[in-house]
């Protein structure tokens, strides 16, 4: 318990050094002033916490914003990390992952990335209920860290960078459309061979 509390305090200090504060302990600022935030699970805890954190940082989160932050998928895994003398799992490695992307005008993909957090907890075979409660608490702490990781990434983006990514995406989309049109034109202009007729005997 003491180790876990020290870990949480250390994480809070580290995030503070990056200009972030855990919810309820301060605010942070992003240069992006508006975002449309969505997820497959629109009411899931991750997207709700992320939306609250963005609003707390002065970001106008609303549908129809020029840039869209989409949480594409979330995953939780657990695997045995070590065993005790009776060959029963004693330590578990928990991994939480969020894949997300940013899209701009015409829903063009500007950026895709993922946030991932791993932690190890010790399962007490003599107190499984307590171990399960501890695992749930660790998952909550990991979700906070996932949200913070995404916010750190967003903090590095400026409107100018997003505009440049949008221009690059539009140029790429136009090049692909032109190539497809050229291929279709060549196909349409290529004479079709008539089927070979086999003389009747």
CATH of the domain at 180: 3.30.160.150
Mean local confidence (pLDDT), 77-106: 82
Average confidence score pLDDT of the chain: 81
Residue 14 counted as domain residue = no
pLDDT at 161: 93
Write down the H helix ranges in the chain.
2-17, 45-56, 128-155, 159-189
Write down the H helix ranges in 21-158.
45-56, 128-155
Number of H helices, E strands in the chain: 4, 5
> Is 177's pLDDT higher than 60?
yes
> Is 16's pLDDT higher than 90?
no
Angle at 140 between CA 136 and CA 143, to 5 degrees: 135
> Is 49's pLDDT higher than 90?
yes
Between the two ends of the chain, the Cα-to-Cα distance in Å is 94
Residue 12 counted as domain residue = no
Pairing mode, strands 60-61 and 34-39: parallel
| Total number of domains in the chain | 1
> Residue 115 burial by CB count (10 A; 0-12/13-18/19+): exposed, middle or buried?
buried
Mean local confidence (pLDDT), 79-94: 71
Mean local confidence (pLDDT), 98-123: 92
Residue 151 counted as domain residue = yes
Q: How confident is the model at residue 6 (pLDDT cuts 50, 70, 90)?
A: very low
Residue 148 counted as domain residue = yes
> Residue 11 burial by CB count (10 A; 0-12/13-18/19+): exposed, middle or buried?
middle
Mean local confidence (pLDDT), 133-145: 89
> Which pTM value belongs to this model?
0.72
Mean local confidence (pLDDT), 100-117: 95
Mean local confidence (pLDDT), 40-65: 93
Residue 116 counted as domain residue = yes
Mean local confidence (pLDDT), 165-193: 87
> Is 19's pLDDT higher than 50?
no
Choose from 5-9, 73-77, 99-103, 172-176 the range with maximum mean pLDDT: 99-103
Distance CA 39, CA 184 (A): 36
> Residue 146 burial by CB count (10 A; 0-12/13-18/19+): exposed, middle or buried?
buried
Structural domain of residue 77, as residue ranges? 30-188
Residue 4 counted as domain residue = no
Residue 123 counted as domain residue = yes
């Amino acid at each position: 318990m003491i180790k876990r509390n020290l870990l949480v305090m250390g994480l809070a200090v580290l995030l503070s050094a990056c200009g972030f504060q855990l919810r309820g302990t301060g605010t942070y600022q992003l240069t992006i002033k508006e975002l449309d935030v969505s997820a497959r699970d629109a009411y899931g805890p991750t997207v709700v916490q992320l939306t609250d954190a963005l609003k707390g940082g002065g970001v106008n989160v609303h549908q129809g914003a020029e840039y869209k932050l989409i949480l594409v998928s979330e995953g939780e895994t657990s695997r045995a990390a070590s065993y005790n003398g009776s060959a029963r799992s004693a330590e578990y490695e928990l991994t939480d992952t969020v894949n997300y992307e940013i899209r701009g005008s015409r829903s063009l993909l500007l950026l895709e990335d993922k946030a991932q957090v791993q932690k190890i907890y010790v399962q007490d075979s003599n107190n499984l209920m307590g171990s399960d409660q501890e695992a749930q608490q660790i998952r909550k702490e990991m979700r906070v860290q996932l949200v913070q990781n995404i916010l750190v990434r967003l903090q590095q983006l400026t409107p100018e960078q997003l505009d440049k990514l949008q221009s690059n995406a539009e140029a790429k989309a136009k090049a692909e459309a032109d190539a497809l049109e050229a291929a279709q034109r060549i196909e349409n202009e290529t004479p079709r061979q008539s089927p070979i007729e086999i003389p009747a005997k």
